[in-house]
Every structure is written in C-alpha cells, then in structure tokens.
Chain A
Amino acid sequence: MTTTVTPERTPEPAPAPAPAGHRSSARRRRVYQWLFVAPAVLYLLAFFGFPLVRNILMSFQEYTPTTYFTGEAPFNGLDNWRAVFSNELFGDALWQTVLFTVGSLVGQFTIGLALAVFFTRRFPLSGAVRAVLLLPWLVPMVVSAVVWRRIMDEDHGVLNSFLETLGLSGGGVPWLSSPSVALLSAVLVNIWIGIPFNMVILYGGLQEIPREVHEAAALDGAGPWRTFRSVTLPMLRPVVTVVLVLGFMSTVKVLDLILALTGGGPADSTQTLGTMTYQLSFLQLDFGQGAVVGNVLILISAVFAVLYLRVNRANAGRGK
C-alpha cells in the first residue's frame, strides 16, 4: 500500500524520429494511439468540462421553467449574482459551510490520526478491526444520514436515552430540531463518516516511516510524545496535507448527508452552499441563481485545488 505521492514518471522518450519516408506512418501511429485515450477525454470534457463552462454561462442567464418551454434563456447580466448576494440566506449558507467544513475536518483528522497511530501497534485482530472500521465510509451517505436521523431523534432516539441513562442530560437534546444544535449534529455525523478515510491514508503514511527513525529517536532519549511531535509528524507532513486538502474538497460540497439528515433546516440552520445550489436550481427552478452559488462553491474548491497541486508538485520535485 503506497500512500505517498508517486513521482510523475517521465514519459518514455519518444521513439527516434522516423526517417522522412515514414513520417506519414508515424503520424498514423500517433492517431491510432490517441484513439485509446480519446473516448475518456471526450467523456471527461462532456461530464466535467461542459458543466463548468455551462454553469458560468448559466449564471448570467435567466434560466427558469419557461426556458424549458421556449428554449430561451436570455442573458441578464449580473442580475443572478446580485439576487444571490442580496439573498440573506447566502451569507448564512457561506458561514455554515465554513463551520461545517472546518468542524468536520478537525474532528475527522484528529480522530483519524489517533486511530492510525493506535493501529501501528502490533496486536491480534489489528488488521481485521481496521478493515471493518471502513464500513461507515463505504455505506451510501444517504443511508448513514437516515440511520443517524433515527438515532438523534429528540424524543425517541437512542442517543438521548443513552445520555439520560448516564445522567448526563436531564431532558432530550434537540439534536436535529433546534437551529442552534442541528449544524453541530451534522458535523458530528460527518466526522463519523470521514474518520475511516483519514485513518486509512494516515495509517499508510505512518507505515512508510522507517522504523529505524523511531529507534534512533528513542536512543536519543526522546519519549513517545516527543518522538511523535518532532519525528513522526514532520515526516508525515506531505500525507497530512494531502488528506486535509482532499478532505476539504469532498466536505465543502457535501449534500446527501445534509439533505437526508435535516433537509437544510430547522430554520435554514444547516443550509450550506451545496444545499443552497440544490434548492435554488431544483426546488425554486431558478437554474441561473443556482449556477451562481455553484460557481462560488467551485471557486472555493479551486483555491484548495491549487494548494493541492502545489503540494503534489513539491513532493514530486523532491522525488518522493
């Protein structure tokens, strides 16, 4: 299992230039070779490139149900952008997206790292337990959300009856029904979903750190915590960055979880940019405004994608 970024293998040097008479056959071979790659490229362009471009265009168009009858989506300048930015919900959704994303990442990463470190110990059943722990990540997110919705039910959920048994809370905690708690609940569920992913990748990263390094640190008299902080963490850094950036990119756009858990409520307290895009486009059928929010979402991801690629390149440059 490799977890560090593999170096970009420099492509095989192109075959020696063909003699002049064979130039056309060399070109034919190139065309033939491209036929292997072309279908996938066309597909990626259709299902990722096209949506990106179309969303930018749509954000400047009046794209409403009428469009589907008339086929016309007149350009309306910055109307959609103005409408979205003056929509009170936008600021809330943006802020809640930040809280949801940062909260999820901190929780997933901390617990994921703790588990990864724990499982580097050698003990019976370690591998089996690690494998089974992946289940929350593999189960469809909608399903997880539905189960948690049942668990977190204010009156009949097992979470509240458990807390009551422990004497930790008097009345039921309104996990999903109070605007001040619902976002926290969504974060908790998303942390649960994300722990396995963080654990697996960080565990892989830990495995690649040579044992001798730790032994050397121990010889120098470093305790476990000191070793972890001064040796393990720095060596793990490339993997940590990758985990966090990938985690960010997938968390910032989470939609299934929130729709099935709270539907964005109560009182819009769990609306994020993702759910707002969905609501504008597919419930209010204003695809133009939905596209605006979608573009903001992409812009935020793009900033982190740049970071990711820079990290990637830095790693490749070090030959690691």
Chain B
Amino acid sequence: MTKSTRRSRLSTVLALLILAVMLFPVYWMISTALQPHSSIASTALVPTSPSLENFRAAFETQGGSLLTSLVVSLGAVVVCLALAAPAAYGLAQFGLRGSRGIVFGTLITQMVPGIVVANALYSAYAELGLVNSYAGLILADASLGLPFAIVLLRAFMVSIPSEVIEAAMVDGANRFTAFVRIVLPMSRNALITAGLFAFLFAWADFIFALTLNTTDDVKPVTLGIYQFIGAHVSDWGAVMATSVLSAIPAAILLVVAQKYIAAGISGGSIK
C-alpha cells in the first residue's frame, strides 16, 4: 500500500467518524422510534426488537398533521414558483429600470425576522378572515422561499442568451409564450432547485403555523410535534416516530436531489 492510498483511507475513516458524531442525533431519533413502549427511563442504544408500533401510533395521532403539512407545503411551492419564475425572467432579461432596486429588496427581506412578519400578519389576517385558513398559511409560508427563488432563478436566467428568446419571438411568439415555451423548459433544473427549497422551507415552518392559527383546524406537523411535547411527554417513542416522518422530505431530498442542494444553498444565499 502506497503512502498516499493509506492516507486517503485514513481520511475516509476520519470522515465516517465525523459523520457518526454529527448524525448521532438522527440515529437516536430513528432508534428511539423503533423501540416500542420505550418508557421515559430506558432507551436501548440499539433497538433489540425493532417494531413499527410507534409509527402506527404516530400516523393515528399525527397523520392529519402530516397531510396538512403536505398540502400547505405544495401550495407554497406553487405560489412561490408562480411568482418567482416570471419575476426572475423579467429581472434577468428586460433591463427594466428599477430591477437593481428589486433585487436589493429581496436581499433586504433576509433580515426581517419571521416573528416580526407574524406579528403584523396576525392582525391583518384577523381583519381579512385569514386566521386558521389553508390559504393564509400557504401565502405566509410562500414568503419563506420566494426571495430565495427569485435570486436563484434570476441568477440562472441571466445566462440564457437573449437571441434564443428573440428567435422564438421572430417566429411569432409574444413575450409570454416565449417565456412559457422557451425559458421555463430551459430553466427546469433551476426551477426544481427553487421548488425543492420552497417546499423544505414551508415544511419546516413553525413560526407561522404557531402564530397564524388559533385552533387545530390547520395544524402542520411541526406544530403537532410541538404540542406533543408541550404536555408532559410520556410517549417518546411516538414523538420520535413523528419526528422521523417529518424528516423524510429532507432525507428524500438528500438522495434524489443531492446535486441541486449544495448548489442551491450556496447559490441562493449568496448571489
């Protein structure tokens, strides 16, 4: 074994060690979820007789919340992309006066704390009858992904050569049909990235779920888990099973869309 292969094997071992330490909480969550009747006192390090009992309980008590989260998050993705895609295109390609100001504005939004938005939205929602409504939560959650989506999509669309669009317009398409037929298909990957993040942001939302709902009519799973632990927790197994279920979108994203994520995190947050 040469020195360099030994060194690279050592690196791999070290990397796996780092991974084990960093992901221990995730392991612990899954392990606890797999141990039925895990009392407050005892949780075995390795589940000796794993069972899906807790997941059944989780579905029974939190199934509705999971569905609510899904509906709200998908709704937020639709709102987010429907607003961001045309805007990003306009900002990237039209050379409109004031474009810079708008891009600047999307950066500014990053400094507005969610709780401040909730503070003002709650009173406005109360007047508009949007408290405890799906529409209200979807609209609010879309705000978590929108600035990100605009910045990300714009950065991509700047690189679309305007000749391509002009060629389509020579063939009789107007700006809008050119956008739908040419720009959107070309931007597919960027749209997927933006959509995935919009989904994840909405799925992870807790502040709006907590503040814009006064009843249990619209209760996403993050709020469900929070209420679960608010009372004296006697069934950690079920809490952890729900947690595992609510972490699934993130896990899927890591597997399916891995290559988009790193690009998304750095691209969207900095550009």
Mark out the residues of chain A between 1 and 38 whose CB falls within 8 Å of any chain B CB in the assembled complex: 1-6, 8-9, 11-14, 30, 32-34, 36-37
Q: Which of A68, A136, A250 is within 8 Å of B25, CB to CB?
A: A136
B251 engages A43 (CB within 8 Å): no
In the bound assembly, the distance between CA atoms of A158 and B16 in angstroms comes to: 21
Chain A residue nearest in CB terms to B112: A48
Do the beta carbons of A51 and B119 come within 8 Å of each other? yes
Q: Which residues of A contact B90 (CB under 8 A)?
A: 33-34, 36-37
Which B residues lie within 8 Å of A250 (CB)? 110
Known: A44-B105, A44-B147, A129-B19. A1 touches B123 (CB 8 A): no
> CB-defined interface of B158-185 with A at 8 Å, one 1/0 digit per residue?
1000100000000000010001000000
Question: How distant is B181 from chain A, measured CB to nearest CB, in Å?
Answer: 15
Q: How far is the CA of A144 from the CA of B225 in the complex (A)?
A: 11
Chain A residues near B139 (CB-CB < 8 A): 47
CB closest residue in chain B, given A115: B18
Query: Which residues on B sit within 8 Å (CB–CB) of A301?
Result: 111-113
Separation of A259 and B115 alpha carbons in the complex (Å): 12
* CB-based nearest B residue for A56: B120
Q: How far is the CA of A200 from the CA of B258 in the complex (A)?
A: 13
| Stretch touching chain B among A74-82, A215-223, A290-298 | A290-298
The tally of residues in A whose CB lies under 8 Å from a CB in B reads 104
Q: In whole Å, how far is B247's beta carbon from the nearest beta carbon of chain A?
A: 5
Residues of A within 8 A of B28 (CB): 147, 150-151, 158
Q: Is the CB of A201 within 8 A of B250?
A: no
B218 at the A/B interface (Cβ < 8 Å)?
no
How many chain-B residues does the 8 Å CB contact rule pick out?
103
Say yes or no: is A58 at the interface (Cβ < 8 Å to chain B).
yes
Task: Kindly list chain B residues whose C-beta atoms are within 8 Å of the C-beta of A126.
Answer: 11-12, 15
Nearest to A156 among chain B residues (CB) is B41
Taking CB atoms, residues of chain B closer than 8 Å to A119 are 15
Check A133 for interface membership: any CB of B closer than 8 A: yes
Contacts of B158 in A (CB 8 A): 9
- Distance between Cα atoms of A230 and B123 in the complex (Å): 54
Cα–Cα distance between A215 and B16 once the two chains are bound (Å): 28
- B1-52 with Cβ < 8 A to chain A: 7-9, 11-12, 14-16, 18-19, 22-23, 25-26, 28-29, 32, 40-43, 45
Q: Please, which residues of chain B bring their CB within 8 A of the CB of A52?
A: 112, 116, 120
Contact of A12 among B93, B140, B146, B240 (CB under 8 A): B93
- Check if A304 is an interface residue, CB within 8 A of chain B: yes
Cβ of B246 within 8 Å of any chain A Cβ, yes or no, is: yes
* B67 / chain A contacts, CB cutoff of 8 Å: none
Which stretch from A101-109, A177-185, A275-283 is at the chain B interface? A275-283
In the complex where A122-B8, A123-B15, A195-B22 touch, is A36 in contact with B94 (Cβ < 8 A)?
yes
Residues of B within 8 A of A125 (CB): 12, 15-16
Chain B residues contacting A58 (CB-CB under 8 Å) are 119-120, 123
Residue B66 CB within 8 A of the other chain: no
Q: When A36-B90, A124-B12 are in contact, do A140 and B222 touch as well, CB less than 8 Å?
A: yes
Which B residues, 200 to 215, have Cβ-Cβ distances below 8 Å to chain A? 200, 203-204, 206-207, 210-211
CB-defined contacts of B114 to chain A, threshold 8 Å = 253, 255
Residues of chain A with a CB closer than 8 A to B247's CB: 135, 139-140, 143
Minimum CB–CB distance for A314 against chain B, Å: 14
Instruction: Please provide the 5 A-B residue pairs with the shortest distance between their CB atoms, ordered closest to farther.
Output: A40-B87, A36-B90, A253-B113, A138-B250, A11-B95
21 contacts between A and B (CB under 8 A): A1-B267, A3-B270, A11-B95, A13-B95, A36-B94, A37-B87, A39-B87, A44-B146, A47-B117, A47-B146, A48-B117, A48-B143, A131-B254, A142-B225, A143-B243, A250-B110, A260-B225, A278-B115, A291-B116, A301-B111, A302-B111
